Amino acid sequence: MPRFFNPDTMPKPASNYVQAVEMVSPGRRLIISGQIGVTPDGQMLEGYRAQAEQAWRNALAGLAAANMQLSDIVAIRVYDVAPGDVGAYRELRDQYLQGHAPASTYVIVAGLAHPDLLTEIEIEAFSES
């Protein structure tokens, strides 16, 4: 089982995530490509919150398709185009992860693959089964 921890020798996390995740036993590793605010039928949603919620739904659908649970998520990488959205991102992350706190990286970028995209979420998971 992955060990989620915050070493005393590293800064405390600014919100609900951990500084390190250690995986030492055999198991399955899942990497979900960056998910965006586009529905499964191809509709791009408008606005940061709508896109971020859809990106989370898409990413968690990939997790479910691999028969993994929220607790199997070991790392999240988020790319946003607007620095003012970090508060909304944290709120949604906490809502969708239901208290689970994996390693997390949040990056502000100049742009994504389409000029109307506002966020992209990539997830890595690990399961011993």
Q: Where are the domains of the chain?
A: 28-127
**pTM across the whole model:** 0.86
Question: Rounded CA gap, 70 and 56, in Å?
Answer: 12
Helices 86-97, 48-65: crossing angle, 10 deg rounding? 30
Q: Which residue, chain included where needed, has tokens 């898409």?
A: 58
Mind listing the pLDDT tens digit for each residue in 27-83? 898 889 899 999 999 999 999 999 999 999 999 999 999 999 999 999 999 999 988
Is the pLDDT score of 9 beyond 90? no
CATH number of 28-127: 3.30.1330.40
- φ/ψ of residue 6, rounded to 5: -120, 100
Instruction: Give me the percent of the chain exceeding a pLDDT of 70.
Output: 100
pLDDT at 76: 97
pLDDT at 17: 86
8 A C-beta contact, residue 67 and residue 47: no
Is the pLDDT score of 95 beyond 80? yes
